[in-house]
A = this chain, B = another copy of it.
């Protein structure tokens, strides 16, 4: 496995952070750039919340709640309990007290006029993270989910408030046509020797990234191989609504559909060894254990993926 390669990773939340924590152990962190979905971001109680950025930062800093895969370990909820008890504000989105530190500092810096890219770099720096963490864009590009039961919902309403129960009819990336690809994201993709697409939800976490104007083109033109890891194992998602959404969109719940969704940007696809093999012309595939139950699994998947791509002799 080549340790001198630059790797760019497109990812969403918990599933992506798992692969990230494998990569960070498999490679010098300085070689890694994470390009993170911000379609889930929203304002809540006057604070800017970036769930996927936070999950990745907390994971890489060793601060993540290991049971949930998001939020801060051993966190308390005194502030939110007080809002509920004394002010009758019952936030449907729970924020821990330690977690609030991140949102306060981010919001404070954003209000000073700094970009989300800058702010994220500062936060990651304070957490002593050596990998680059980049939001997919600086503009607000909220993912809107059109549902059968409740019409169009903001992402967090759909995901948290209604616990992804409503049936999805369509997904829209609001304002994405006017979003600009940040220069550091462009450079990371241009400088990458390998681009990985993490096993995050393709429709909710990766599609927003791919919708940023210019990003898809950049991947298509890139000399670097672009390789996705399946989020579907044996007809189900490891976590979250990926399989449910595929059914709602009329798709078969299988890795092939995921590969087809990414389409011609893909050069390779890491499938799970439990899945039925499939072939798509021009697409290299391999079957590995993609179920990351512990840190060993994560590192093993990261290494095997990079070894496999390294063997292509491009």
Interface residues of A (CB under 8 A from B): 45-47, 61, 63, 72, 75-76, 78-83, 86-89, 96-102, 104-105, 107-108, 111, 123, 126-127
Contacts and interface: CB of A to CB of B under 8 A. Distances in A.
A104 B97 CA distance: 12
Q: Which of A101, A108, A126 has the most CB of B within 10 A?
A: A101
A278 to B, nearest CB: 44
Given A87-B126, A88-B126, A126-B88, A45 B104 contact: yes
A78 B78 CA distance: 9
9 contacts: A45-B108, A63-B86, A78-B96, A79-B104, A80-B101, A86-B126, A87-B102, A87-B126, A100-B100
A85 to B, nearest CB: 9
The oligomer's copy count stands at: 2
B105 A89 contact: yes
Given A72-B82, A79-B79, A101 B87 contact: yes
B123 A101 contact: no
Contacts of A47: 104
A46 B47 CA distance: 10
A76 B63 contact: no
A87 to B, nearest CB: 4
A111 B110 CA distance: 14
A46 B87 contact: no
A112 to B, nearest CB: 8
Contacts of A75: 78
Contacts of A100: 79, 82, 97, 100
A105 B88 CA distance: 11
A102 B45 CA distance: 11
Nearest to A108: B46
A116 to B, nearest CB: 15
A82 B97 contact: yes
B61 A86 contact: yes
A52 B75 CA distance: 30
A106 to B, nearest CB: 9
A282 B203 CA distance: 80
Contacts of A81: 98
Contacts of A80: 101
Contacts of A89: 101, 105, 126
A97 B98 CA distance: 9
B127 A86 contact: yes
A107 B79 CA distance: 14
Contacts of A104: 45-47, 79, 83
